[in-house]
Amino acid sequence: MKTLNLAVAVLFLVACGGPIARGPLIRPPAPPTLRPGHGLPVLEPGKPQALPPRSPHKRPLPPTAEPGLWAGDGPVAATDDPAPFVELFGVPIASPGLPQERTETARCAEQARLRFDEETYKKRDGTWLRCFANAIIQACLEAEGDKLRALKKDSAATPAHSARLHAIGPAAALAAKEAARLCPTKDAETAKAGRDMREFTMRTEWAQ
Q: What confidence score (pLDDT) does residue 192 get?
A: 92
Number of structural domains in the chain: 1
- 179 within some domain: yes
Q: What confidence score (pLDDT) does residue 23 get?
A: 58
- 41 within some domain: no
Question: What percent of the chain is predicted at pLDDT more than 90?
Answer: 13
Question: Could you give the angle at the alpha carbon of 167 between the alpha carbons of 161 and 172, nearest 5°?
Answer: 115
- 62 within some domain: no
Q: Rounded distance, CA 103 to CA 80, Å? A: 14
- Give the range of the structural domain holding residue 183, as residue numbers without chain letter: 86-203
pLDDT tens track for 92-122: 888 777 888 888 899 899 999 999 988 888 8
- 184 within some domain: yes
Question: What percent of the chain is predicted at pLDDT more than 70?
Answer: 63
Instruction: Look at 179 and 95; give whichever has higher pLDDT.
Output: 179
pLDDT tens track for 148-178: 888 888 887 788 888 888 888 899 999 888 8
pLDDT tens track for 24-41: 677 777 777 766 666 666
- Nearest of 96, 70, 69, 67 to residue 81 by alpha carbon: 96
DSSP character string of 34-56:
--TTTTSPPP-TTSPPPPPPPPS
Question: Could you give the angle at the alpha carbon of 136 between the alpha carbons of 131 and 138, nearest 5°?
Answer: 95
Asked if residue 10 has pLDDT above 70, the reply is no
Within the chain, how many helices (H) and strands (E) appear?
6, 2
Banded model confidence at residue 16, pLDDT cuts 50, 70, 90: low
Asked if residue 22 has pLDDT above 70, the reply is no
Banded model confidence at residue 207, pLDDT cuts 50, 70, 90: very low
- 22 within some domain: no
Measured CA to CA in angstroms, residue 19 lies from 4, 7, 22, 41 at distances of 20, 16, 9, 57
Banded model confidence at residue 71, pLDDT cuts 50, 70, 90: very low
Residue 197: burial class (beta carbons within 10 Å; 0-12, 13-18, 19+)? buried
Average pLDDT score over residue span 181-195: 87
- 23 within some domain: no
- 65 within some domain: no
Q: Are 72 and 120 in contact (CB under 8 A)?
A: no
Q: What is the mean pLDDT of the chain?
A: 75
Banded model confidence at residue 139, pLDDT cuts 50, 70, 90: very high
- 125 within some domain: yes
Our measurement of the distance from residue 207's CA atom to the centroid of its chain's CA atoms, rounded to an integer in Å, reads: 24
